[in-house]
Structures are given as C-alpha cells and as structure tokens.
Amino acid sequence: MGNAMQMVTELAIGIWNEFIYILPYLAVGVLLEAIIRTMKWHVKIRHALTRFGGFSILLATLLGVISPLCACATLPLVISLLLAGLPLAPAMALLVTSPLMSPAGYTLLNWELGPAWANVVVICAVLFGLFAGYVTLFMRRFGFTEDLLFKKILPAGDFHDPAYPVEELRCDCGKQLSHKVNRCTHNKFLVFLARFWEGMFKIGKFVLLGVVIEVLTVQFLPTAWVSGILEGNGVLPIIAITFASIPLHLPQVAAAAMLYGFVSPEFGQGITLSRGAGIALLVGGPVTALPVMALFIAMFKKRVLALYLAICISGTLMLAFGYRALPFF
C-alpha cells in the first residue's frame, strides 16, 4: 500500500511540475487567441471564403493556420459554410488545416520542441491544406460535389439557434461565459478576459492530457521501446505512428506536450526526436480526431469520409517522409 501511494505521489508531482513549467507559454498562446476571437478577425476572413472562387483554397488554408478552433469545433463550422455555398475544396482545406496550427499551438510548440519544429509544422499545415483542397477539387469530376455530400438533406437555419433541429450540429456557444458577458456588458475588455479564461481551460486540459500520457508512458511502458520509435529514422516508425494515431483524440497541443516529456533533458529522456516520426505524430494525430470521425459518419456519406481519411493518411505520410528526406534543417 505504501509503495502504491508513493508511486501515485511521484506521478502527481511529475505531472504538476511539467504542467507548471509549460503554463506561462500556454498563457501567451491563449492570450493571442483571445485577441483574435475578441476582434473577430477569423470570422471576418471566414465570411469572405464564399466569395473568392479558386483562391478560396489558399484563403481557407491561411484561415485554418490562424484559427483558434480545434477539429471538433471546425467541422460544424465547415458544414454551415457548405450549406451557405462554400465549395467542398476550400472546406476540406479548412477542416484539415485548422487542427494543425493555432496561435496557442505555435507558442507551445516553440517552447516545448523549439522554433525549428514550430516553423516546420506551420509549413506542413499550409502544405497539407493546399494538398487537401486541390485533391478535393480534382475529385469533383468523380462525383464529389456539394449536392452529393450529406446522408440526408439538412434543414436550413442557424446552427446557433437553440431550436435548430439537428442536435449534432446545434451550437451551444451562447452558453459560453464570453457570450454571456457580451450580452450583459458589451465591454470588449471584459469579453476578452472571458475568452482568455475559456481558452486557458479548453487548451489547458489538452496540454494536461499530453503531460499525463507522457508521464504514464515513461512510468509504465518500456522507455527504450517508445524512445526507439520516436527517435527511429526508418520507414516503420513513421507508418506505425501515422496509423496508430488515427483512432486517438490527440490535439496538437496534447501531442506537443507529450513529446516535450521525451525531448526535454530537464523533465524527460532528452531524446533527439526523429523528423519523420515527429511530423507523423504532430500532423497525423490532430487531423484524425475521433469525435470528428463520429460526426463525419453521422452526417456525410461514406465516400466523403473515405476521401477525408485518404487525404489525412496520404498527406501525413508524404509530409513525414518528405521532411525526413530533406538534406537540410
């Protein structure tokens, strides 16, 4: 009993120390996201998406990079944009890119893995978005058009309406603290503080999840085996991580926090993260979040889900192998 309590205490201390060490950099990233959300810059760009034709793929990709939304929040947004007339190609670019990068994600990556990794993931997010958009645009000739996407006709209406009939798409943002503050005060500074609090809670829980996974992995799994996969430069580690991450709900901030525990010489193993394996986890994990897959299955036809998974898997493998093969960086 004493040994068990000692182990639990050591685990709790390890988790707490790592989370506190990351916390200031989490706060900086959330601060940037709170500014973007308060000023509604991403909303203004989003409204322009339906008016830019082929250029909208690039615009959707750039919006995804700066958007503070995760994959689970992006998919209902994408469906609403599709119903508003946005073509599938830029919608797919936005859906793929948004989970890969955000202001908070960049700040945490920069601190946890270094500026080189943070900048590479930004480049990967842009390339992935363009790849997803133009592959989807090419697939239009094979029947992937906006009128053949959904399993059933979705009723017109505002997803923000509490009475919207499709529960899976109904937005509950009106219950958020920032919206309540806005309705009561219309004070932008107070709204900003509320959005900052929401962001700290939303993103912080995923950072904490990554730290917990890393600490438990180091404690209970053979560290040489895990480190071997993350450090491995062969083909197998990339393929294994890419396909193993498909069923996991592993947002990028959680993946980065998990890797930090292995890369950091102060808290972790001090390993040298392989370029291919690192991209496979930081890119492949976030784009195939399990809640997104569930909503895909409920709303879209099977062939649309198949296209999305094919884009996610092939894009992850190409980026991982491509970065691994580069003679520089």
Helices (H), 221-301: 223-231, 235-244, 252-263, 275-287, 290-299
Mean pLDDT of 272-287: 87
- Domain of residue 312 covers 2-325
Mean pLDDT of the chain: 77
Higher pLDDT residue, 291 or 311? Answer: 311
pLDDT level of residue 32 (50, 70, 90 thresholds) = low
Mean pLDDT of 111-136: 92
Q: What are the residues whose beta carbons fall under 8 Å from the beta carbon of 249, sequence distance 6 or more?
A: 289, 290, 291
Higher pLDDT residue, 101 or 79? Answer: 101
d(CA 71, CA 304): 16
Residue 321 CB: number of other CB atoms within 10 A? Answer: 16
Q: Number of structural domains, the chain?
A: 1
Higher pLDDT residue, 111 or 158? Answer: 111
The single-letter code of the amino acid at 102 is: S
Percentage of the chain exceeding pLDDT 90: 13
Which 3 state secondary structure label does DSSP give 160? coil
Q: 174, 160 in Cβ contact below 8 A?
A: yes
Of 33, 43, 56, residue with least CA distance to 102: 33
Q: Which residues of 100-115 are buried (b: 16+ CB within 10 A; e: fewer)?
A: bbbbbbbbbbbbbbee
Mean pLDDT of 215-222: 63
pLDDT at residue 319 in the model: 95
Position 124 pLDDT exceeds 70: yes
pLDDT level of residue 168 (50, 70, 90 thresholds) = low
d(CA 113, CA 259): 8
pLDDT level of residue 170 (50, 70, 90 thresholds) = low
pLDDT at residue 178 in the model: 74
Percentage of the chain exceeding pLDDT 70: 68
pLDDT at residue 134 in the model: 92
Which 3 state secondary structure label does DSSP give 77? helix
pLDDT at residue 292 in the model: 73
